[in-house]
Amino acid sequence: MKTCQKCPSSFELLPQGNFIRKELGIPEPTLCPQCRNIRRMTWRNDRTFYHAKSALSGKPMISMYPTDTPYTVYLQSEWYDQNKWNPFDYGRDFDFSRPFFEQFHELQLAVPRMNLDIVNCENSDYCNYCGDDKNCYLDIAGESNEDCYYNLFVKYSKNVVDCTFIYNSERCYESINCYHCYNVYYAQYCQNTSDSAFVYDLIGCKNCLFSNGLRNKEYYIFNEPHTKEEFEKKKSELLNGSYKILKHAIELWKKRLIERGVFRNSYQVNCENSSGNNLKNCKNVQFGFNVTDAEDSQFLYDVLDAKNCSDLNYSLYKPELSYELISTLNMTHSAFNMASHFCHDVFYSDQCNHSKHLFGCAGLTRQEYCILNKKYSKEDYYNLKSKILNHMKATGEWGEFFPSQFSPFGYNETVAHEYHPLTKANATERGFKWMDDLEIKNYKGPAQTLPDNIADVTSEKIKEVIVCEGSQKPFRVIEQELRFYKEMNLPLPRRSPQQRHLDRMKLRTARSLCNRNCQSCHAQIQTTYTPDRPEKVVCEHCYLKNIY
């Protein structure tokens, strides 16, 4: 057992992590898994946006960096056009009299950064960490989506609004962890399900209301069969465009789910020898959360297709033999990188793409054998890299991710704050930065009275400011969002997009495991449901017995 130098808590080194670190030549970690995870997440700002201007052209842009940032920020399309700027202009020699992180931070301040991390997106300016999106708005970590708004980690979907972790789906609203679903509202953990609302853990179902734990059923209400006519009558009464009726239905559904629902200790689909939650097609994955198609890995958070990896966040496209990455694609034999894609043998680098054999670089594309953005021969590269590693071992930097105090963002701007919220006092006490100007002041204008029914809402009405009933912050509804509500016969929301995101976060369990007893057979189980939660949590055996 080791003691974390940050918390300090005790933690165990798992065999798979030891193997990965040995292959990469990395020393044992000094921080526990949770502190390592938080440190990485302080470098990712998903959804805090600012109006700014490109430092290259002066063009207005939406940026994840504020106007007074000390970083050089270019419009994303300009950043990719490296005929307009040269990352080697910022290259420098390594200074062995100073720490590595201090020198790398200076390089980061100088080398231009993208305003938003989006690739091949069309009409999707308010999105971040997305690829191949079309006509999307505030779609975060999305991929190949169309007409999707206010989502997190939605992939290959269309007309999906206010959803989290949705895959290959269409016409979904306020749903979480669903695969191949169509026309579902307020759904969670559903697969191949359609035309249903207020449902949990359905597979192969359609036309269901207020139901959970069903398989291949149709026309069910409150887990009981009904005629088609009875079902359609009930559905038309519930989803008639009225906010009051919808709000009552949501409260009824939450109450019923706690009273009647059965929750499996770990949501896994086709997994072997794995622990964590929201795992699909995984083998030998320990402490994985929202992970698909991975094997022989540990401490993965929002990761796809990983093999022999440890401590990864938001890393996709077959990462392999890699350690401590965040916001990356297809990184192999690499460690301590962020926002870098399709690279091999790259260490301590930021926003580098299609490159190999880099150390401490920023903004390079299709390069090799570079250190601090300066190019070397192969022999000189490895000689200098070896000396730098010895220097970093002496300073205690080798094997550590980038320090949080060098992050461009305040703690409250990052995903770290979403998963591990802190007060300003607690954050600064722990050495994190804080963005004081982040909070929007409470709205001082007249209170907005919204029509109860969506049928009574006009395009002129949405131009007015709406005051969030939760945070008291102002927000507006966009035109394409209104079209979605009218098509789906849903009332206008009374809560802001950010508040709705936080509401969905509360519906999900924490990304940590605890021990408790199955509430059916009393066997000890490992789960993300803490003992103080009200849900009935059972082991896999009892869950399957209850479902089938």
Q: Write the pLDDT tens digit of every residue in 294-348.
A: 999 999 999 999 999 999 999 999 999 999 999 999 999 999 999 999 999 999 9
pLDDT band of residue 462 (cuts 50, 70, 90) is confident
What ranges make up the beta strands (E) of 36-157?
Answer: 50-53, 60-63, 73-74, 113-114, 118-119, 130-131, 137-140, 149-155
Contact (Cβ atoms closer than 8 angstroms) between residue 205 and residue 196: yes
Please give the Cα distance from 204 to 227 (Å, whole number).
Answer: 18
Residue 284 and residue 295 in contact, taking contact as beta carbons nearer than 8 Å: yes
Q: Over the stretch 40-70, which tens digit does the pLDDT of each residue have?
A: 999 999 999 999 999 999 999 999 999 999 9
| pLDDT value for 441 | 58
Distance CA 161, CA 455 (A): 19
At residue 330, what is the residue type? N
Where do the structural domains in the chain lie, given as residue ranges?
180-264, 454-507, 514-547
Please count the other Cβ atoms lying within 10 Å of the Cβ belonging to residue 1: 7
- CA–CA dist 31, 36 (Å, integer): 6
Average pLDDT of the chain to the nearest whole number:
95
pLDDT at 14 over 90: yes
Instruction: Please tell me the predicted confidence (pLDDT) of residue 463.
Output: 84
* DSSP classification of residue 349: E
Q: What is the per-residue pLDDT for 439?
A: 61
Contact (CB, 8 A) for 151 and 142: yes
| Range with the poorest average pLDDT among 340-344, 404-408, 466-470 | 466-470
Beta-bridge mates of residue 10: 3
CB 395 within 8 A of CB 52: no
Percent of the chain with pLDDT over 90: 92
pTM beyond 0.85: yes
Residue 496 has a pLDDT of: 95
Cβ atoms of residues 355 and 365 within 8 Å = yes
> Does residue 447 have a pLDDT over 70?
no
Alpha carbon 453 to chain centroid, angstroms: 33
Peptide bond into 403 cis (omega under 30): no
Query: What pLDDT sits at residue 70?
Result: 96
The count of other CB atoms within 10 Å of the CB of residue 430 is: 14
Which DSSP category does 447 fall into? P
Average pLDDT over residues 225-237: 96
